[in-house]
Structure formats: structure tokens, C-alpha cells
Amino acid sequence: MLTTWLNCLVDMKKAKDENTEGQILDAAKNVFQAKGMDGARMQEIADKAGINKAMLHYYYRSKQLLFEAVFKNAFSLLAPQLNAILNDDSYIEDKVKNFTSNYISFVIKHPYLPNFIIQELNRNPDFILNLKDNKGFPNLEKFRKQVAIEVKKGIIKPISAEQLFINILALNIFPFVARPLIMTFINTDKAAYNKLMEDRKAEVANFIIHSIKNT
């Protein structure tokens, strides 16, 4: 009976810890997104999370550690999905379609992510190297081999895997990174812009496929 009671207490504490940590990460994400790493303050993050600063430091001893946790959490949501597409057995044409569709769907739900990643890479270019060995980090090796095979077979025009991958990234990432600028240029609101991004799933995929496919 005592053992059962103790186990319940442990489970309750674990659930409480996970809930508090989730609140911290959500609050930190919002503050870092708005003010960047340098402009963010631990007190503001604690206030948004509904805890005191001492409690925040209990979970994360420094702002850098908290930022890294937020960054890794955000990156870990997207990277495995993209890696799975790059390493499945589908043709390059299908990879382009699936990569574009998954990326745009994900970023519409997590609009802070592209600027968040680019902001940190500009501030600390070596930071991404810390993530490179993590499980699910995008690996281009199979993609390179598939591109080479399809070029050799005449399925797609001669292009390096690296150039093709950069083209895919650029066409998918830029509209989200430059969102305020583009929205101003085309004079649209958030809902209409999201619809425009949904339409880009087909537009981007077709644009890339038509540029590389042998007819």
C-alpha cells in the first residue's frame, strides 16, 4: 500500500515537472521570438511562465541553456519529418512534393520557427553543428545517390543534389522569413497569406519539378 502511494507521489511530481517545463519552454519561445536571445530577460520569461525566477533557474541555470532547449525542441519537431522524406524510397519528384507539403504545413502551424532558426544561426553560426549528430538530423546521402541515378537515367536534367536541395529550401523558406515584407508588398492579411502559402505547396513543387524533369 505504501509503495503504491509513493509511486503515485512520484508520478504526480513527474507530471508537475513536465507541465512546468512545458510552460517555461512556451514562454521562452514567445520571448525569444519577439526579442531574440540578446534582448530576452529571464525575469520576463519567468513572469510569462507564471513562476518565479528561482524556479526558472532550477530548470535552466542560464539563458543560453534555456535558448538551446527551445531551439532544439523547435528543430526536433521539423527535422525528423524532412529527414524521413529525404531517405524514403520515393522518386525525386515525389520527394519534392512531399518535402514542400510537409514543410509548409508545419511552418503555418509554427510560424516563428524559420526566423527563430535563422536568427540564431546569424548570432552563432556554429550552433547548428551541435545538432548535427542528433537523431533525425537531415541526411542528404541517399538524396545525393537518387539524384545522380535519376540524372543518369535521364529522368531529370543534370543537376547536383546540393543545388537541387538549396533550390527546394530557398523556395520554401523565403516566403516565411520575409512574411511581413511580402504581406506589405501584396497588401494582404494573415488569413489570406496563409491561404497563399497553402497554394504554394503545389506551386513550388510544380515549379521545381518542371525545371528539372526531362519531358
Neighbours of 110 (CB within 10 A): 15
- 9 and 107, same domain (yes or no): no
Q: Cell digits for 117? A: 532558426
- 165 and 205, same domain (yes or no): yes
Which pTM was predicted? Answer: 0.74
pLDDT value at position 3?
A: 55
Among 15, 14, 43, smallest CA distance to 27 is for 43
DSSP 213: B
Q: Report the interhelical angle of 92-109 vs 190-212 (nearest 10°).
A: 170
Contacts of 87 (CB under 8 A, 6+ apart): 139, 142, 143
Contact assessment for residue 114 and residue 178, using Cβ atoms and an 8 Å cutoff: no
Q: Per-residue pLDDT tens for 158-201?
A: 999 999 999 999 999 999 989 999 999 999 998 999 999 999 99
pLDDT value at position 17?
A: 60
Last residue of a domain, one of 19, 43, 61: 61
Contact assessment for residue 64 and residue 55, using Cβ atoms and an 8 Å cutoff: no
Last residue of a domain, one of 41, 61, 81: 61
pLDDT value at position 109?
A: 82
What is the span of the domain harbouring residue 21? 1-61
Which residues of the chain, if any, have pLDDT below 50? 2, 5-15
pLDDT value at position 139?
A: 87
Number of domains in the chain: 2
Greatest alpha-carbon span in the chain = 74
- 55 and 138, same domain (yes or no): no
Among 138, 207, 136, smallest CA distance to 167 is for 207
Inter-CA distances, 43 with 19, 33, 39, 60, Å? 19, 16, 12, 13
Contact assessment for residue 24 and residue 18, using Cβ atoms and an 8 Å cutoff: no
- 181 and 208, same domain (yes or no): yes
Angstrom distance (rounded) from CA 63 to CA 67:
6
- 139 and 174, same domain (yes or no): yes
- 206 and 113, same domain (yes or no): yes
- 67 and 53, same domain (yes or no): no
CATH of residue 83's domain is 1.10.357.10
- 186 and 206, same domain (yes or no): yes
- 21 and 119, same domain (yes or no): no
- 38 and 78, same domain (yes or no): no
Percentage above 70 pLDDT, the chain: 92
- 122 and 154, same domain (yes or no): yes
- 3 and 96, same domain (yes or no): no
Last residue of a domain, one of 13, 46, 61: 61
Angstrom distance (rounded) from CA 215 to CA 210:
9
CATH of residue 34's domain is 1.10.10.60
